[in-house]
Amino acid sequence: MTRGAVARLHGTGDVRVADEPVRDPQPGEGLVRIEAVGLCGSDLHWFEEGGIGDARLTRPVVPGHEFAGVVEGGPLDGRRVAVDPALPCGVCARCLEGHRNLCPDVVFAGHGDCDGGLRQYLCWPASALHPLPDGFDGVTGAMLEPLGVAIHAHDLGHVHLGDDVAVVGCGPIGLLQIQVARAAGARVALAVDPLAHRREAAERAGAELVVAPDDAPDLAVDVTFEIAGNDAAVDLAMRVTRPGGRLVLAGIPTDDRTSFSAGLARRRGLTIAMVRRMGEVYPRAIRLVERGDVDVASLVTHRYPLSGAADAFELAAARAGLKVVVEPSPRATTA
């Protein structure tokens, strides 16, 4: 029987790597040898808090929903693919309306009862495997998922050509948000983050004014993206958005609650949109990277083997660097 290494989260701060059997793919599935897995802020909620929102860790789970690899066997044999972590039902009203990200019965890698990508091998529906162009490596493929979230948030912002936008929170998705906005013809007038190395990255990404939260001026941008996940960031985002503007909330709060001044939001007549993962945006994400409009590789600052997954989580939780990637071993053992 073929076996492969797997990293499981057993509890808060408890990541263990062990060998497990690799099941054979079922009809309609592909066997993917996982090359790269990005650690996302939502993964850190699981690692640090044992859950995210109202979902709690009830069994040891394999984290990881930003991942890519090479298919072994079947019609896609030998193709490098990005793996869409979301498997919506396809038949509910939300799916039929085209809002697959809002499917109430969605199965999502690394969430709940569905094991994710931090392993050497994974069987996954072939319909959710996106073949990558020549020249894309596994890390680039893994970065398409957070880029997809940024694209979806951009769509919710209804950003127009020539708009001024602000980004509050310059982690990996915030930095991608800056790139997406600029690629779409908007000016990123302001980027805000408390961490100096993230502010430096925001400057490199093309934001014009980059400041710490306490130094943020009162501006009047057309659209603001909040990607920090705390009330202070939401309040700041409201203050820099013009009356009649749009505010897109993509940050995930630790305690599953967001509060803000109703008076401020009401007097400014703000339209507020909430980000729930993404829709069918992988093809667009691939094109943006292929054309050079978005540089995802520049965000990857740390790489770990699968055996170092626990250390990777600790470093990511310390908010050191930008994107932390785990690269599972390319080969499984045969017993």
Domain CATH for 29: 3.90.180.10
Same domain, 73 and 105: yes
Would you state the structure tokens that stand for residue 36, as one six-digit string?
């790269």
Residues 6+ apart with CB under 8 A from 214: none
Alpha carbons within 13 angstroms on the beta-carbon side of residue 71 total: 24
Same domain, 182 and 269: yes
In contact, 165 and 222? CB cutoff 8 Å: yes
Same domain, 106 and 12: yes
Residue 289 lies inside a defined structural domain of this protein: no
Same domain, 132 and 8: yes
29-38 vs 121-125, strand pairing mode: antiparallel
Same domain, 204 and 122: no
The span from the first CA to the last CA of the chain, in angstroms, equals 5
Q: What is the pTM of this model?
A: 0.94
Same domain, 88 and 116: yes
Same domain, 14 and 123: yes
Tens-level pLDDT at each residue, the chain (335 residues): 689 999 999 999 999 999 999 999 999 999 999 999 999 988 998 999 988 877 888 899 999 999 999 999 999 999 999 999 999 999 999 999 999 999 999 999 998 889 999 999 999 999 999 999 999 999 999 999 999 999 999 999 999 999 999 999 999 999 999 999 999 999 999 999 999 999 999 999 999 999 999 999 989 999 999 999 999 999 999 999 999 999 999 999 988 899 999 999 999 999 999 999 998 999 999 999 999 999 999 999 999 999 999 999 999 999 999 999 999 965 444 33
Residue numbers of the domain that contains 238: 149-274
Would you state the structure tokens that stand for residue 173, as one six-digit string?
């998705």
Residue 282 lies inside a defined structural domain of this protein: no
Domain CATH for 211: 3.40.50.720
Same domain, 6 and 47: yes
**Other CB atoms closer than 10 Å to residue 175's CB: what's the count?**
30
**Other CB atoms closer than 10 Å to residue 122's CB: what's the count?**
27
Number of domains in the chain: 2
Same domain, 162 and 125: no
Residue 33 lies inside a defined structural domain of this protein: yes
Residue 300 lies inside a defined structural domain of this protein: yes
Q: What pLDDT does 301 receive?
A: 97
Q: What pLDDT does 52 receive?
A: 85
